[in-house]
């Protein structure tokens, strides 16, 4: 159980304009600005939940993860995870959690991955039996067979990420923090990683907190989403809640023969090229079937497709709505 | 039972040590170049001191035999004691933020870095030490490296060398920790390295310093690094003086570790992990 209450964190950032004279000035007098990375953040996450933590770059996602994993001390507020304060009781706390920072590596660069795993076994003092069991399970689920015997520096990004995830799970943590685990991965690796996380949550009841910019991650993995922007929580709910918050648009792509199409109420042109036009339909004002018959009365339709607005756009709309 | 539990707690540091040590043994070309340089440097130093000795033997605080042993052994153990050697991985982890991973593990950062720094020095020394010692042993008297006077002397050397290594590493830990505050420690290192070098007796052995300077330098922690074990080996320090110096050395080892541990404790509280 994770309970975060009124967390605040401020960073001091030195700023100056470009140019030699500015640099000279800054030599004697630095100008600092205070950035409120986190501003009164509160939420509660139950055991076994999978939560997507989303927001634009610089919203405070990583700072929150770092606080929850005991790396960063907040200026104000409290955070209690399984009865411990992460930054006060760091060593006891971190032995119960696993962390993956998608942009960094925890594997020793120039030795085979299995050596890094052995080191982690000693660090977490994992009993032999448990280590063997976990390693076998992770190796088969993440398909690590040959990869484990290769030095980390010679792995592809996808292979390395699978090893990184395995590395943070060897000690059977109760909570897993994933900070952009699918960044830069190809489609196959992304799907492999997602399937694995789902399986992990289902089988071991591991609590998973995931930050990402990939909305497919969110869609497949999490039932609950926390949206953060400029250090504040803007929305805490399910994907459906977010869809309700955003406009209920559908997107209609029509390939047609004939003259230009006239518009009616509830219909806006998203993009158009020669004989292909895409509309955004506001379904509250204009049912999709009405829109289709309205168009077919004007032109000969060769092909037509209807889709919901992608979740990426939903989120972009939300960012816009909250001006973040 | 109690013993096995204790071993379990320290096992991770032993593993850190082992991995860094094995990693360090890979750099054979660097070691070969080092051996050649250090051998040339040692010979040059000996020639200079010989010239000085011939001018006024009575002004010499060491015998030429002692001095030869001191110089050769210092070259052989250079990478073990040199105050200006730092493990760049540690600085890099602070600069690029990969320390985030280290902090998210149940390890004591201070002891982890300590064992790594120690292993790095030892592995570099192992590769360089033997060739220099072997050659120096065959250099004719009184300019060669002779074996220690007796078993007791050898034992005292081993003990003081170990404590000396602890002092060097404990001091370098302070530089590592300062990276939490300054991000880049290059300036700090360039500024202090020559001073520390001098005070550790790397430029001129401490017995050769003028009386006033010597008295101050001798109580500073830098004198507890290489000067004591080298003088013990060469037979220049024994008896009461050795006892006092070894006590001082032990004091500095403990004091520097306590300072470093406390400092790391506070530094981590205010650490801002860089990037992402």
Eight-class DSSP state of A257: E
Please check whether residue A294 touches B, CB under 8 A: no
Give A156's contacts (C-beta < 8 A, 6+ positions apart): none
pLDDT score, position B5: 47
Q: State how far the Cα of B176 lies from the Cα of B28, in Å rounded to an integer.
A: 26
A61-76, pLDDT tens digit by residue?
A: 888 999 999 888 898 9
- What residues make up the domain containing B161? 16-269
A72:B272 CB<8 A: yes
What is the per-residue pLDDT for B183?
Answer: 67
Please tell me which residue of chain B has the smallest CA distance to A89. B106
Residues whose CB is less than 8 angstroms from the CB of residue A17 and which lie 6 or more positions away in sequence, other chains included: none
Q: How far apart are CA B62 and CA B236, in angstroms?
A: 7
Q: Is the pLDDT of residue B142 over 70?
A: yes
Q: How many angstroms separate the CA atoms of B274 and A28, rounded?
A: 24
**Which residues have a Cβ under 8 Å from the Cβ of A176 and sit 6 or more positions away?**
A97, A98, A99, A100, A168, A169, A197, A200, A206, A207, A208, A209
Nearest to A99 among B96, B104, B276 (CB): B104
Number of structural domains found in chain B: 1
Between A14 and B261, the more confident residue is: B261
- The whole-number average pLDDT for the span A202-219 is 89
Work out the pLDDT band at A174, boundaries 50, 70, 90.
Answer: very high
Chain A residues lying within 8 Å of B15, measured CB to CB: 118-119, 122-123
For residue B137, being part of any structural domain is answered with yes
Q: What is the model's pLDDT at position B4?
A: 45
Residue B30 pLDDT > 80, yes or no? yes
Question: Which residue has better confidence, A315 or B191?
Answer: B191
- Looking at the domain assignment, is residue B6 inside a domain? no
Q: Give domain status of residue B3, yes or no.
A: no
Task: Please report whether residue B233 resides in a domain.
Answer: yes
| Residues A45-243, CATH architecture | 3-Layer(aba) Sandwich (3.40)
In this structure, the number of other CB atoms found within 10 A of the CB of residue B232 comes to 27
Number of Cβ pairs closer than 8 Å across A and B?
Answer: 76
pLDDT at B3: 43
pLDDT band at B7 (very low <50, low <70, confident <90, very high): low
Question: Is A118 close to B15, i.e. CB distance below 8 A?
Answer: yes
Q: Give A124's contacts in chain B (Cβ within 8 Å).
A: 105-106
Residues making up chain A, counted from first to last: 324
Q: pLDDT-based confidence at A277, cuts 50/70/90?
A: confident
CB contact under 8 A, B273 and A71: yes
Least CB-CB distance to B8: which of A62, A90, A125? A125
DSSP A43: E
Cβ separation of A106 and B101 shorter than 8 Å? Answer: yes
Q: pLDDT-derived band of residue A172, with 50, 70 and 90 as boundaries?
A: very high
Q: Would you call B180 an interface residue with chain A, using a CB distance cutoff of 8 Å? A: no
Which positions 146-205 of A are in contact with B (Cβ < 8 Å)? 179-180
**Choice among B89-98, B192-201, B237-246 with the minimum mean pLDDT:** B89-98
Residue located via tokens 């994993």? A69
Distance from CA of A167 to the nearest CA of B (A): 11
Does the distance separating the beta carbons of B273 and A72 come in below 8 Å? yes
B50-83 pLDDT, tens digit each: 998 888 888 888 888 899 999 999 999 988 998 8
Distance CA(B12)–CA(B20), nearest Å, equals 12
B275 inside 8 A of chain A by CB: yes
Judge: A91–B276 Cβ closer than 8 Å, yes or no: no
CB contact under 8 A, A105 and B98: yes
Mean pLDDT check: name the lowest of A180-184, B6-10, B156-160. B6-10
Place of tokens 């992608």: A310
Q: Is residue B21 less than 8 Å (CB to CB) from chain A?
A: no
Is A19's pLDDT higher than 80?
Answer: no
pLDDT on residue B273: 58
When pLDDT is cut at 50, 70 and 90, the band that residue A248 belongs to is low
Q: Span B120-134, mean pLDDT?
A: 90
pLDDT above 80 (res A203): yes
Looking at every residue in chain A, the average pLDDT score rounds to 87
CATH topology of domain A247-308: Alpha-Beta Plaits (3.30.70)
Check residue B2 and give its pLDDT.
Answer: 41
pLDDT at position B187? 82
Structure confidence at residue B85 as a pLDDT band (50, 70, 90): confident
pLDDT at B86: 85
pLDDT tens digits, one per residue of A101-134? 888 888 888 888 999 999 999 999 999 999 999 9
pLDDT greater than 50 at residue B29: yes
B240 in contact with chain A, both atoms CB, cutoff 8 A:
no
Asked, for residue B63, whether it belongs to a domain, the answer is yes
Does B140 map to a domain?
Answer: yes
State the best of B101, B111, B266 to mutate against chain A, taking most chain A CBs within 10 Å: B101
Q: Under a CB-based contact definition with an 8 Å cutoff, are residues A103 and B136 in contact?
A: no
> For A151-163, what is the mean pLDDT?
90
pLDDT score of A207 more than 70: yes
Nearest CB partner across the interface for A122, out of B11, B97, B271: B11
pLDDT above 90 (res B118): yes
Within-domain flag for B8? no
Where in chain A do CATH 3.30.70.250 domains reside?
247-308
Global confidence as pTM: 0.81
Give the bridge partners for A175, in sequence order.
Answer: A97, A207
What's the gap in Å between the CA of A173 and the closest CA on chain B?
Answer: 12
Would you call A73 and B270 a contact, using CB atoms and an 8 Å cutoff? Answer: yes
For the record, the structure tokens of A92 come out as 């006891």
Which whole number is the average pLDDT over A206-215?
A: 90
Residue B7 lies in a domain: no
Residue in A closest to B112 by C-alpha: A123
């Amino acid at each position: 159980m994770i309970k975060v209450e009124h967390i605040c964190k401020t960073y001091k950032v030195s700023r100056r304009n470009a140019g030699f004279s500015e640099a000279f000035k800054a030599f004697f007098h630095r100008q600092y600005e205070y950035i409120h990375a986190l501003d009164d953040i509160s939420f509660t996450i139950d055991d076994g939940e999978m939560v997507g933590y989303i927001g634009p770059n610089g919203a405070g996602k990583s700072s929150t993860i770092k606080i929850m994993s005991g790396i960063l001390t907040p200026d104000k507020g409290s955070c209690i995870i399984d009865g411990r304060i992460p930054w006060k009781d760091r060593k006891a706390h971190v032995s119960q959690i696993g962390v993956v920072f998608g942009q960094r590596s925890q594997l020793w660069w120039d030795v085979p991955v299995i050596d890094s795993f052995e080191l982690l076994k000693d660090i977490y003092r994992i009993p032999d039996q448990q280590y063997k069991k976990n390693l076998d399970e992770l190796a088969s689920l993440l398909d690590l067979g040959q990869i484990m015997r290769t030095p980390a520096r010679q792995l592809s990004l996808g292979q390395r990420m699978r090893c990184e995830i395995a590395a943070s799970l060897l000690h059977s943590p109760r909570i897993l923090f994933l900070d952009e685990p699918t960044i830069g991965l190809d489609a196959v690796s992304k799907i492999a990683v997602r399937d694995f996380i789902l399986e992990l949550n289902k089988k071991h009841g591991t609590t998973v907190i995931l930050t990402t910019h990939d909305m497919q991650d969110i869609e497949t993995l999490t039932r609950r989403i926390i949206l953060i922007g400029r250090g504040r929580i803007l929305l805490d709910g399910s994907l459906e809640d977010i869809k309700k918050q955003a406009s209920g648009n559908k997107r209609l792509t029509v390939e047609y023969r004939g003259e230009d199409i006239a518009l009616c109420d509830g219909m806006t042109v998203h993009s158009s090229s020669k004989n292909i036009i895409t509309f955004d339909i506001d379904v509250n004002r204009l049912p999709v079937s009405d829109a289709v018959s309205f168009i077919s009365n004007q032109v000969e339709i060769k092909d037509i497709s209807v889709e919901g607005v992608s979740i990426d756009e939903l989120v972009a709309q939300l960012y816009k709505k909250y001006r973040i | 039972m109690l013993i096995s539990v204790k071993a379990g707690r320290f096992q991770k540091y032993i593993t850190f040590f082992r991995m860094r040590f094995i990693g360090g043994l890979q750099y054979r070309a660097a070691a070969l170049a080092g051996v050649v340089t250090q051998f040339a440097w040692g010979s040059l130093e000996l020639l200079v001191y010989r010239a000085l000795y011939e001018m006024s033997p009575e002004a010499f605080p060491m015998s030429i035999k002692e001095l030869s042993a001191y110089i050769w052994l210092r070259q052989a153990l250079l990478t073990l004691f040199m105050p200006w050697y730092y493990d760049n991985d540690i600085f890099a982890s602070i600069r690029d933020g990969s320390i985030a991973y280290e902090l998210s593990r149940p390890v004591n950062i201070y002891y982890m870095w300590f064992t790594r720094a120690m292993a790095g020095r030892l592995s570099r020394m192992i590769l360089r030490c033997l060739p220099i010692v072997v050659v120096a042993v065959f250099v004719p008297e009184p300019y060669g490296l002779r074996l220690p006077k007796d078993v007791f002397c050898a034992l005292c050397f081993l003990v003081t060398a170990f404590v000396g290594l602890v002092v060097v590493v404990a001091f370098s830990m302070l530089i590592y920790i300062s990276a939490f505050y300054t991000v880049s420690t290059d300036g700090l290192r360039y500024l202090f390295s020559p001073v520390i070098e001098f005070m550790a007796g790397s430029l001129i052995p401490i017995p050769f310093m003028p009386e006033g300077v010597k008295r101050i330098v001798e109580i500073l922690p830098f004198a507890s690094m290489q000067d004591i074990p080298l003088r013990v080996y060469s037979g220049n320090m024994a008896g009461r003086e050795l006892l006092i110096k070894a006590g001082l050395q032990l004091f500095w080892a403990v004091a520097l570790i306590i300072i470093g541990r406390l400092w790391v404790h506070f530094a981590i509280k205010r650490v801002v992990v860089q990037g992402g």
